[in-house]
């Protein structure tokens, strides 16, 4: 017994190190696995609060670009308003077909990362505003990401600039679909993989979200084709997509509630069970 205590006292530093190393490594490994509830995330009152304060300051420096973007969006909305034939027709939010205004939560990005392989955003609305995990996040230009974690007042978003993101996307004109991921190289480009060789594509074609996704409504803009890679081994294309969004400069965003999501997932689950 004495020897055990002696051993512990003698190696207390090493034991402490190994113990803490075990904790931190398990946190790291857990953060790299796909489906998980993240313990260490910026959706908590401490980091969320600090980021909100810092963002308030940063906003002053960005006022000009934000104003320009808002003015542009205003001009677009005005042109829609003045050119529409009947103002009593069904309300539409720009290009988000099939989404009612009640299903949109307007929020603001208070922290944005884009320099690592797994990037996350922090938003300043949370459960109190009705934000839940797996809701889609878009802005006026295109998609941004998917809600990952929520706290009462804040939420983290897994950005499309993240190695773990997989979003169903299709060619706007032909309905051929593939899956959207990121290879971690450039913040302006994402990759569309598994697109069948049958699809007729050329550089400059528009890519939009596909109908298979239960998170995003169909036909939300993503980007244009910038480069086409032909793989001789398989029957699929890999494309470089130039994003419409500048992911390094994000302000206000829209969170989309999908009402059909529960219904669809329940249906598919029942299908599998049988």
Partner 1 sequence: MNSTLLVNIFRFILLLAIQIIIFNNMNFLGYISPFPYILFIILYPVNGNKSGLVAASFLLGIIMDLFSNSGGTHATACLVLAYFRPSIFKFAFGLSYEYQTIKLNDVLTPQRFSFILLSVVIHHFTLFLLEAFQLSYILDTLLTTLLSTVFTIIICIIIIYLIKPNKR
Which lies closer to partner 1 via its Cβ, residue 113 or residue 139? 113
Which lies closer to partner 1 via its Cβ, residue 41 or residue 258? 41
Answer whether 150's CB lies under 8 Å from 133's CB: yes
β-bridge pairing 167-171 and 143-150: unpaired
- Determine the Cα–Cα distance for residues 246 and 158; give it in Å rounded to an integer: 16
Instruction: Show the binding pattern over residues 35-64: x = contacts partner 1 (CB under 8 A), - = does not.
Output: ---x-xxx-x-xx--xx--x---x------
Answer whether 131's CB lies under 8 Å from 125's CB: yes
Among positions 148-187, residues that touch partner 1 (CB under 8 A) are 156, 184, 186-187
CB of 133 to partner 1, least distance (A): 15
Segment near partner 1 (CB under 8 A); pick from 18-26, 64-72, 81-89, 261-269: 18-26
- Asked if 25 interacts with partner 1 (CB under 8 A), we say yes
On the 0-12 / 13-18 / 19+ scale of CB atoms within 10 A, 102 is: exposed
Applying CB under 8 A, what is the total number of residues that bind partner 1?
40
Residues in Cβ contact with 32 at an 8 Å cutoff, skipping those fewer than 6 apart:
118
CB of 121 to partner 1, least distance (A): 9
- Determine the Cα–Cα distance for residues 180 and 163; give it in Å rounded to an integer: 10
Segment near partner 1 (CB under 8 A); pick from 9-17, 66-74, 78-86, 225-233: 9-17
Partners of 241 in the β-ladder: 190, 225
CB of 167 to partner 1, least distance (A): 19
On the 0-12 / 13-18 / 19+ scale of CB atoms within 10 A, 214 is: middle
- Asked if 20 interacts with partner 1 (CB under 8 A), we say yes
Among positions 81-120, residues that touch partner 1 (CB under 8 A) are 113-118, 120
CB of 131 to partner 1, least distance (A): 17
Among positions 188-247, residues that touch partner 1 (CB under 8 A) are none
CB of 14 to partner 1, least distance (A): 8
Which lies closer to partner 1 via its Cβ, residue 58 or residue 133? 58
Which lies closer to partner 1 via its Cβ, residue 23 or residue 70? 23
Which residues bind to partner 1, rule: CB under 8 A? 12-13, 16-17, 20-21, 23-32, 38, 40-42, 44, 46-47, 50-51, 54, 58, 113-118, 120, 122, 156, 184, 186-187, 248
């Amino acid at each position: 017994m004495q020897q055990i205590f002696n051993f512990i006292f003698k190696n207390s530093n090493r034991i402490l190190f190994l113990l803490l190393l075990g904790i931190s490594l398990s946190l790291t490994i857990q953060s790299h696995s796909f489906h998980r509830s993240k313990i260490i995330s910026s959706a908590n009152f401490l980091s969320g609060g600090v980021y909100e304060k810092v963002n308030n300051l940063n906003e002053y420096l960005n006022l000009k670009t934000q104003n320009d973007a808002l003015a542009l969006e205003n001009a677009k909305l005005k042109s829609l308003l003045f050119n529409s034939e009947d103002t009593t027709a069904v309300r539409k939010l720009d290009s988000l077909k099939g989404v009612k205004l009640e299903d949109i939560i307007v929020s603001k990005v208070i922290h944005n990362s884009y320099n690592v392989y797994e990037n996350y955003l922090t938003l300043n609305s949370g459960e109190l505003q009705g934000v839940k995990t797996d809701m889609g996040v878009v802005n006026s230009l295109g998609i941004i990401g998917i809600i990952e974690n929520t706290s009462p007042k804040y939420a983290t978003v897994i950005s499309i600039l993240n190695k773990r993101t997989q979003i169903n996307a299709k060619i706007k004109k032909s309905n051929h679909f593939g899956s959207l991921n990121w290879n971690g190289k450039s913040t302006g480009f994402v990759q569309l993989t598994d697109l069948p060789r049958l699809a007729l594509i050329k550089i400059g074609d528009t890519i939009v979200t596909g109908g298979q996704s239960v998170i995003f409504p169909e036909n939300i803009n993503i980007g244009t084709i910038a480069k086409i890679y032909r793989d001789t081994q398989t029957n699929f294309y890999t494309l470089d997509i130039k994003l419409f969004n500048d992911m390094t400069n994000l302000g206000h965003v829209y969170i989309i509630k999908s009402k059909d999501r529960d219904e669809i997932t329940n249906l598919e689950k029942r299908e599998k069970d049988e």
